[in-house]
Chain A
Amino acid sequence: MEDSRKMIEVDNLSVIYPGGIKALDGVSFSVPEQEIFGLLGPNGAGKTTLIMVLTTLLAPTGGLARVNGIDVAKDKNRVRMNLGYVSQELAIDDELTGLDNLRLQAGLYHMDHSIRHKRIEEVLELVGLTERARDRVDTYSGGMRKRLDIACGLIHRPEILFLDEPTLGLDIQTRHEIWHYINRLREEVKMTILLTTHYMDEADLLCRRVAIIDRGSLKAIDAPEILKKQMGGGLIVFQFNQSARPETIDQAMNRLKNQDFVREITQKNSEYLLLTDNSEESLPLFFEALDGLRLNLKKVTLKMPSLDDVFLYHTGRQLREESVSREEMDRVRSSMRRLRKTR
């Protein structure tokens, strides 16, 4: 990390909106070359504010931000030439064709006329819109529009790309397509990418490092695997059949409690939660430990720690926006609480 250039540097950055609302509170981090860096947090955490500062759309109240070594407060136009920005909302003109949108972008970014045509073709190919380029954008699907938007952000071959919630509101197939393109970008064009998201799967899949942001401050920065490992290895959740006899269950419990891989077993109604250091590797050991007993296991599930758990741990709140059953939430919360106490 010492040798590679710091493409994005944020040093004690603060943004206070009129009225005293602290959108960003002393945020510091840096992003090296060719890394995909993620900012994970719920709506209102400050992600968009941070991106707006880094893309020179918003002046910071305090602190420093540098993009490709240039201070965002000092030389705005130079910073802008070095970066591409794909905002949360679509920023393409519906009434123009895809091609015209790209031509406009090429013009606004002072691209040399001799290479414009070629670059436009290249970028259309990258996002798979070559056939539809001459059609008006209002005939495009949502996913196509997003891809065009990304194409516009790339056309001037910036070294750094900012993506604000790149797959917000898109269907699963389109999300996968866009993730695919983002990965291609990093590999083929060697870009440094900073993306913001509130989707765990996106952060997990794409980002080499993730920063958890909540209420304007960073709570943790590390690779997703490391963040999740800090949560322990996960849970094995199992349930016995109704026909299982209490003595057998007691026997099973005793056996398990003595196992090395078991940190703790808790019970919630008919479910048992076995906390372990590595649930994937512990699962076979689990079955080995219970070997020989006439058990009636109704079901066994593996609950790997997710970034949602990481978020919950660092902020005390759930990240997911899908409805979660109360029971499940309680369960996760109590195991998290226990985890914290055992440290």
Chain B
Amino acid sequence: MTAMTIGLKGAYYIFWREIKRFTGQKMRILMSVVQPVIWLVLMGSMMARLTDNPVTAEMIGVDNYLAFMVPGVMMMSSLYTGVFGGISIIWDRRMGFLIKLLSAPIPRYSIALGKISALVLQTMFQASVIAILAAVMGITFATGLPGILVTLFICGLFAAIMSCISLFLSASIRTPETLFSVINFLTLPLVFSSSALFPTAVMPDWIRVIARFNPISYAVTPVRDLVISGWEWGTLATGIWLLLLMFLILFVLVYYRFEKGSLL
């Protein structure tokens, strides 16, 4: 077996374990379904009033706020799944389980890769639930099933990026509380300064600038197009390339953190 095969196989078993745990935690599955419901139904129906007014509807660019919101909700759920995903390392460390992974004949980066893969799968599951919910509420993708699949891919990629950040932090943080405070400190402003919830048109200038450099915007915009407008290849291609690049850079960072640094 080559070194890379060993690494990939190791990552597979770590992925397998994470998924087994996830499927065993009924509460978690329920929450991952309930959360988008709350966002879509509650926030969506409340904010739908925005599009009732033709002026604001013009600004938002769509006649249905719900359609505008679905990509945002998908991105947010991908964001949260990814960014809190690294906490599993903290629990493993506490439980003593991390020792088992570190003393197994697998490279350290397998641990990161396996966990990232599991988080991507969980995210895609959640995104599918949201897509189904949206369909039930009357929102259909302008790009049909292929569009939905591409959307799932983008959500997965986005979650992978956030997982890298989370794992990188968790490698050094010992308590869940510290991780939560760091993440909350970062994520909420990130979400609100992106085009996930509100169109850039309604933003004050300084926030709009941030939104331009915000990775969340680059994930949300292509998906929004897939939902509402159709195959806008320009934004789609740019979005996906940028996200892939971001993921690669972050994964390299995580790779070295896991291989060279101490995880205990």
Contact = CB atoms under 8 A, between A and B. Distances in A.
A55 B95 CA distance: 19
A81 B104 CA distance: 8
A252 interface: no
Nearest to A108: B104
B242 interface: no
Interface stretch (A22-30, A83-91, A199-207, A296-304): A83-91
B105 A77 contact: yes
Interface stretch (A92-100, A125-133, A181-189, A231-239): A92-100
Contact of B96 (A56, A77, A90, A104): A90
User: Which has the most chain A C-beta neighbours within 10 Å: B9, B12, B24?
Assistant: B24
Contacts of B25: 95
Interface string B72-104: 000000000000000000000001110111111
A147 to B, nearest CB: 16
Given A57-B103, A104-B17, A92 B97 contact: yes
B33 interface: no
B16 A110 contact: no
Interface residues of B, number: 25
A160 interface: no
Given A81-B105, A108-B104, A110-B105, A93 B6 contact: no
Contact of A55 (B1, B17, B103): B103
Contacts of B150: none
B13 A107 contact: yes
Contacts of A78: 105
A80 B95 CA distance: 21
| Interface range, A side | 20 to 34
Interface in A103-117: 104-105, 107-110
Contact of B99 (A89, A108, A110): A89
Nearest to A56: B103
Contacts of B264: 57
A110 B1 contact: yes
Nearest to A92: B97
A94 B95 contact: yes
A95 B106 contact: no
Interface string B47-90: 00000000000000000000000000000000000000000000
Contacts of B97: 91-93
A91 B6 contact: no
A57 B13 CA distance: 20
Contacts of A178: none
Contacts of B6: 77, 110
A310 interface: no
B96 A80 contact: no
Contact of A104 (B9, B13, B24, B103): B13
A93 B103 contact: no
Contacts of B96: 87, 89-91
B212 interface: no
Contacts of B9: 107, 110
Interface string A30-69: 0000000000000000000000000111000000000000
B13 A80 contact: no
Contacts of B100: 87, 91-92, 105, 108, 152
A146 B46 CA distance: 54
Contacts of B102: 57
Nearest to B22: A95
A108 B95 contact: no
A76 B107 CA distance: 9
B104 A80 contact: yes
A93 B21 contact: yes
B103 A107 contact: no
A108 B13 contact: yes
A85 B106 CA distance: 15
A109 B105 contact: yes
Interface in B1-33: 1, 6, 9-10, 12-13, 16-17, 20-21, 24-25
Contact of B106 (A77, A89, A136): A77
A95 B107 CA distance: 24
Contacts of B12: 107
A107 B17 CA distance: 11
Contacts of A96: 17, 20-21, 24
Contacts of A77: 6, 105-107
A80 B12 CA distance: 19
B24 to A, nearest CB: 5
A149 to B, nearest CB: 9
A62 to B, nearest CB: 19
Nearest to B101: A108
Contact of B105 (A91, A93, A108): A108
Nearest to B102: A57
12 contacts: A55-B103, A56-B103, A77-B106, A80-B103, A87-B103, A91-B99, A96-B20, A104-B16, A104-B17, A108-B10, A108-B106, A110-B1
Interface of A: 55-57, 76-78, 80-81, 85, 87, 89-96, 100, 104-105, 107-110, 136, 152
